[in-house]
């Protein structure tokens, strides 16, 4: 599960639909295990097109069906032997979900995005990964439309001084997204998403991305198949191994 970003596991939409569900217990815990053909986040492959194993563990406190406070840890590990294909990520998150009306909910989330080992393995970014903080807001409408806004105060920025490039992590940046989920039959849904990300672009301009996919849910098991596409600027920033157009499939089991 990725909060506030389109991933193969439908990040923010999965968060909203899960946490808004009433639970008889005041406090509970859960998680998920997933295997994905490509770890895609906001249109960009984090593993340069290689598969990854992912896991999530979380705890929550419910106030009836009106609100839920939650915290957890999400991790991903690339399964390839290449530098980018073996990339690791470990995110700690906490937040609050509030049912405003029967058809409208809001989620506020803080996430610490961390990359153990530090190496990116992407020559377009000179091998540099950086840890950063992210504050997000999501709105869910009728369990169909999901709108997201994310902000980071410490995004990476490239500066040039007397012909030398310097890296500073002091840039404020935003990411925006919208996703629609349409049930087709009882066991299959169509998803379509679009967004714009300034966080990952070290020059601050940003790039657009979109996705189209199918989701099959059967009890705790979920299967996702999606096509992702980024604007040409993302290809120039991250290279064809990470950006452009790509297809990915994910199997996820919740417990």
Domains in the chain: boundaries = 11-254
User: Which residue is listed with tokens 């940003």?
Assistant: 206
pLDDT for 168 equals 87
CB 131 within 8 A of CB 115: yes
Give CA separation, 152 vs 21, 29, 106, 128, 182, in Å: 29, 28, 19, 18, 30
Kindly give the parts of the chain with pLDDT less than 70.
1-25, 118-128
Tell me how far apart the alpha carbons of residues 51 and 239 are, in angstroms, rounded to a whole number.
18
SS3 content of the chain, % helix, strand, coil (to 5): 5, 60, 30
CB 243 within 8 A of CB 44: yes
Architecture label for domain 11-254: Beta Barrel (2.40)
Query: What tokens does 163 get?
Result: 């012909």
Give CA separation, 254 vs 5, 14, 89, 221, 229, in Å: 19, 11, 20, 7, 27
Q: Which tens digit of pLDDT belongs to each residue from 95-140?
A: 999 999 999 999 999 999 998 876 655 556 655 678 999 999 999 9
pTM: 0.87
Buried b / exposed e along 67-86 (16+ C-beta atoms within 10 A): bbbbebebbbbbebeebbbb
pLDDT for 9 equals 36
Query: What tokens does 226 get?
Result: 């999606």
Give CA separation, 234 vs 61, 71, 240, 248, in Å: 39, 32, 9, 18
């Amino acid at each position: 599960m990725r909060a506030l970003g389109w991933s193969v596991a439908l990040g923010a939409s999965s968060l909203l639909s899960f946490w808004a569900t009433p639970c008889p217990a005041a406090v509970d815990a859960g998680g998920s295990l997933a295997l994905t053909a490509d770890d895609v986040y906001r249109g960009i492959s984090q593993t340069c097109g290689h598969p990854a194993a992912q896991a999530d563990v979380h705890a929550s406190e419910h106030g009836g069906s009106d609100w839920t406070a939650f915290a957890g840890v999400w991790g991903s590990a690339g399964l390839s032997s290449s530098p980018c294909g073996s990339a690791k990520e470990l995110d700690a998150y906490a937040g609050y979900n509030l049912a405003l009306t029967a058809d409208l909910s809001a989620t506020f989330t803080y996430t610490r995005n961390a990359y153990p080992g530090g190496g990116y393995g992407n020559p377009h970014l000179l091998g540099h990964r950086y840890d950063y903080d992210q504050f997000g807001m999501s709105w869910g409408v009728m369990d169909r439309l999901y709108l997201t806004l994310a902000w980071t105060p410490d995004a990476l920025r490239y500066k040039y001084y007397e012909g030398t490039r310097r890296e500073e992590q002091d840039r404020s940046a935003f990411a925006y997204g919208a996703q629609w989920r349409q049930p087709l039959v009882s066991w299959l849904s169509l998803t379509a998403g679009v967004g714009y990300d300034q966080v990952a672009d070290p020059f601050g301009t940003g790039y657009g991305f979109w996705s189209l996919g199918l989701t099959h849910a059967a009890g705790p098991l979920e299967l996702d198949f999606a096509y992702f596409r980024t604007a040409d600027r993302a290809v120039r920033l991250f290279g064809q191994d990470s950006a452009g157009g790509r297809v990915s499939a994910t199997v996820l089991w919740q417990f």
